[in-house]
Amino acid sequence: MHEPVSEHISPSFEQLLQNAADGRQLSAAEGYRLLHCTDEEFPALLATAGDLRNRHKGRTVTYSRKLFLPVTNLCRDRCSYCTFRKDPRDPAAWTMTRADLREWLARGQVQGCKEALMCLGDKPELVSRAYRTTLADLGHRTTTDYVYEACQIALSYGILPHTNAGILSADEMRRLKDVNVSLGLMLENISPRLRERGMAHFSAPDKEPAVRVKMIREAGQLEIPFTTGILIGIGETREEVVDSLLAIRDLHDEYGHIQEVIIQNFRAKPDTRMADAPEPDSPEVAKTVAVARLLLGGQMNVQAPPNLNPADHRLLLRAGINDWGGISPVTKDYVNPEAAWPHLDSLAQTCREEGFRLRERLAIYPEYIDRPGWLLPALRPRTEELQAQVSA
């Protein structure tokens, strides 16, 4: 661990950092204390998190070369900060056709994309008759059925699917495991308070924390490599941030299936109920990343989206991330369309200047490829071929 950089760091805080550096599993109270660190304590917090990352992950930081496929932007939820979701009658509403999928996948194939991110709203067929008609015209009854076919199409182009379709049942995840190397669902926050009237998730039944925890748990039971994370800046307290990270840690401790944890920061968008809400500042994002690293341990893959923090790449590296997430050479971030992906050459240069090597990875992390039962045999040949490419 780095020596404290300020005489204002108390012995108790220094000991707390040392305990984290030594790999001791921290309590909720200790996490609260870390996230409430003072300005004087902040550099030591980041240094400890960075050192823990270095010891376990080395000086390599990864990203996934992905194709963002917004299968449909219809959704039954109405989160206060979301511009991705559209109503069926909105001119900007869409559901991708098979031709759309093939066109975009062909472009992604040319650009060397290895991940097809299937991103869509939560079960719009439950609230939209027009969308049910669209599904029927496509020959399907449910969105999951159509996503399954979309994943098959992606595999025909040699691109590995990763699906984030909102809440899925255990049966739906079991089926999608046949055509996905990993699945994902952001926990966002463990506090049911955010579902109360006036809060960010009041009109979003699928953001009920217990429902999301249930799905993440069932993914572990099904031995599915899984991506999750938290969203900060939507009205939560720092204590609720820590509680959310500990909920993820507990699930991973039980099933070992959380392949990465995303620390995503809220970005205010026009024409939403939270258009004027303050965004988390750079120190708050960096503190949260560092605390996530210390709570989740050196082995966890911790990610922060580079397009949501364009001026803070160096700070995030120092705070303990080892992954930048998906970056697309073909498609924009349809959830945050105002936030352009960074140019890979520029990101690689920043990493080099900070003493890191930027390396490509797949939508399934290497440690899950050889675990018996976690990657189905039909997906193994192409996955191993692509893994050899990114490891070369």
DSSP codes, 217-255: HHHHHTT--EEEEEEESSS--HHHHHHHHHHHHHHHHHH
Is residue 132 over pLDDT 50? yes
Q: What is the pLDDT of residues 157-204, one digit of tens each?
A: 999 999 999 999 999 999 999 999 999 999 999 999 999 999 999 999
HSE-CB for 45 with a 13 A CA cutoff: 30
| Average pLDDT value for residue range 24-43 | 97
What pLDDT is stored for residue 4 in this prediction? 42
Which distant-in-sequence residues (6+ apart) come within 8 Å of 242 by Cβ? Answer: 28, 31, 32, 35, 291, 295
Q: With bands split at pLDDT 50, 70 and 90, how would you rate the model's confidence at 332?
A: confident
List, in order of start, the domains of the chain with CATH numbers: 56-391 (3.20.20.70)
1 pLDDT above the threshold of 80? no
The pLDDT of residue 147: 98
Contacting residues for 31 by C-beta, under 8 A, at least 6 apart: 242, 245, 246, 291, 294, 295
257-316 pLDDT, tens digit per residue, is 999 999 999 999 998 999 999 999 999 999 999 999 999 999 999 999 999 999 999 999
pTM of the model: 0.96
The whole-number pLDDT of residue 333 equals: 86
How far apart are the C-alpha atoms of 161 and 96, rounded to whole Å?
16
Share of the chain above pLDDT 70, in %: 98
* Mean pLDDT (whole number) for 349-359: 98
pLDDT band of residue 89 (cuts 50, 70, 90) is confident
Distances (CA, A) of 8 to 187, 311, 318: 36, 28, 21
Q: What is the average pLDDT value for the chain, to the nearest integer?
A: 95
- Taking residues 49-65, what's their average pLDDT? 98
The answer to whether 13 touches 32, Cβ cutoff 8 Å, is no
For the stretch 5-31, pLDDT in tens is 456 789 999 999 999 999 999 999 999
In which band, very low, low, confident or very high, does the pLDDT at 87 lie, cut at 50, 70 and 90? confident
| pLDDT value of residue 7 | 63
How far is 157 from 348, CA to CA, in rounded Å?
27
